[in-house]
Amino acid sequence: MDSDDLKPEDFFDAALAAMQALPTEPRARAAHLAEAGLTGVLAPEAVGGMALPLAFAVPVAQAAGRALLPVPLSETMLLARALAPVAPDLAAALCTGEAAATLQGAGGAALSDTCTHAVLETGAVVTLADAEVTPLGALDLELPLARISGGTVVARLDPAAMAALTRDARALACAEILGAAETCMQTVVDHTTTRVQFGRPLIALQAVRHALARQKLALEGLRHALRRSLGDTGEARSGTTAFLAATQGGVQVAEGAIQLHGGMGFTWDVPLHRYLRRIRRIEAQQGTPALASRLAADFIAELA
């Protein structure tokens, strides 16, 4: 198929199928995703990528949220593109699955056993083999947060590249939150339509229908936030606002789904809490409280 015939939505099903067939061996996962063509979606052709716009990475990140992918694929896709001008060999390794990378935000970096490199907030690209890694707790069971320092510096990204990387990372974070929230929504709809109490399905209760309506509204708000984050790629504030709206909507959907499952929603037998953990981890990784405070300060300063 010619690249001109490709559409972003064409990537979702293929990406989700590849993620659902992920190998159990952690070291084989990056290569598996590379063979599926996912790691090089954004990277230039010179390093083995497809050189597609950011919109094509969105359904891949969305699928990662649905699959609770235990690999920081969004960061790897973005870094394969960002590192191509300054570290082409590493960018090529990211495309082929020989390496995997993560991006450290204000709240730390999401780490998996596949990660070989990390980009720090200073723009330094370091090797994890000799870096100091401090665990920050297992909020997300598949991708726990850690604070990275030290490590051999193999390349550096300038401030402009880091600003673009941070902006696009938040857009893909919105997409991953959407994928997680969609799974929660579908799960709770299936539960309330099949669970029968007192001779009627739960969805026959007006209070349940009202709760589902609120969750659906939050989900649609999340979709709108994602579109906003992609629609004005030159405006950092717009992307930040969209990300904050996405985290709020994602948490509302996930927590609402847990509540409508009753006591089962708080057990390990129902995996909804894992999707809530994923959303909360993304929120923590980006340093959301500080992000919201800075945004509010900017607005107040403009009004003063």
User: Residue 62 is part of a domain; what is its CATH number?
Assistant: 1.10.540
Q: Give the C-alpha separation, 30 to 114, whole Å.
A: 7
| Separation between Cα atoms, residue 33 and residue 14, nearest integer Å | 11
Give the Cα separation of 59 and 68 in Å (integer).
Answer: 14
Residue (of 173, 175, 167, 143) closest to 12 by Cα position: 175
Classify the C-alpha dihedral 126-129-135-139 as positive or negative.
positive
Classify burial at 27, counting beta carbons within 10 Å of its beta carbon; exposed 0-12, middle 13-18, buried 19 or more.
exposed
- The stretches in the chain having pLDDT less than 70 are 1-5, 231-237, 304
Distances (CA, A) of 276 to 54, 68, 163, 174, 248: 25, 11, 28, 14, 11
Are 169 and 60 found together in one domain?
no
Residue 209 shares a structural domain with residue 129 = no
Q: Are residues 179 and 268 in the same domain?
A: yes
- CB-based contact 178:65 (threshold 8 Å): yes
**194 and 112 housed in the same domain:** no
Q: Does 171 lie in the same domain as 150?
A: no
The reply to whether 211 and 228 lie within a common domain is yes
Q: What is the pLDDT of residue 2?
A: 45
Domain that residue 7 falls in: 3-157
How high is the pLDDT of residue 98?
95
Structural domain ending residue among the three candidates 140, 157, 174: 157
End-of-domain residue from the set 157, 174, 198: 157
Say if residue 138 is in the same domain as residue 177. no
pLDDT of amino acid 232: 56
Give pLDDT, residue 5: 67
> Which pLDDT does position 42 carry in this prediction?
97
CATH number at residue 256: 1.20.140.10
pLDDT at 19: 97
Does 124 share its domain with 205?
no
User: Helix, strand, or coil here: 167?
Assistant: helix
In the block, tokens 């390349």 appear at: 155
pLDDT of residue 239: 78
The rounded distance, in Å, linking the Cα atoms of 222 and 248 is 8
pLDDT per residue over 228-271, tens digit each?
Answer: 878 655 455 677 888 888 999 999 999 999 999 988 888 888 88
Looking at residue 236, its pLDDT comes to: 58
The number of domains in the chain is 2
Q: Which of 70, 118, 110 is nearest to 94 (CA)?
A: 118
Strand ranges (E), the chain: 101-103, 109-110, 117-119, 124-127, 131-135, 145-150, 153-156, 196-197, 200-201
- In this prediction, residue 235 carries a pLDDT of 57
What span, in angstroms and rounded, lies between the C-alpha atoms of 200 and 94? 53
Q: Which of 126, 157, 188 corresponds to the end of one domain?
A: 157
**151 and 45 housed in the same domain:** yes
Same structural domain, 232 and 148: no
Residue 118 carries which DSSP code?
E
Same domain, 219 and 252: yes
Distance CA 272, CA 256 (A): 10
Are residues 201 and 104 part of one domain?
no
pTM: 0.92
Per 3-state DSSP, the chain is made up of helix, strand and coil in percentages (nearest 5) of 60, 10, 30
